[in-house]
Amino acid sequence: MAHINNEEKGMTRPITMERIREERKKLKMTQEELGKLLGKNKSFISRLERYGQHLSVPILDQLADIFECTTDYLLGRTDKRN
């Protein structure tokens, strides 16, 4: 999983989790709403955004479809959304 280094805060965070959260917020979507689209609940999305738990290929594919971006973008392999 790709990570970014946030030296100002002295920590490293997974870019994938940040991008999922950012894309959800761009759509003004709650965690509960995103969860419903994925057939999951709010706590699933919370754990996904915070800890990267439950990120499988099928979920990643669904997220890319919902956010209209590539899986490579969500994984931090590119900065191009499409």
Residue-range domain boundaries for the chain: 3-75
Pair 76, 52: CB distance under 8 Å? no
**Is 3.40.50.1010 the CATH number for 3-75?**
no
Range 18-36 average pLDDT = 97
- Give the global pTM: 0.81
For every residue of 15-81, DSSP letters joined together read HHHHHHHHHHHHTT--HHHHHHHHT--HHHHHHHHHH-TT--HHHHHHHHHHHTS-HHHHHTS-S--
- Taking residues 17-26, report their average pLDDT: 96
Quick one: pLDDT at residue 55?
A: 87
Q: Which residues pair with 4 in a beta bridge?
A: 13
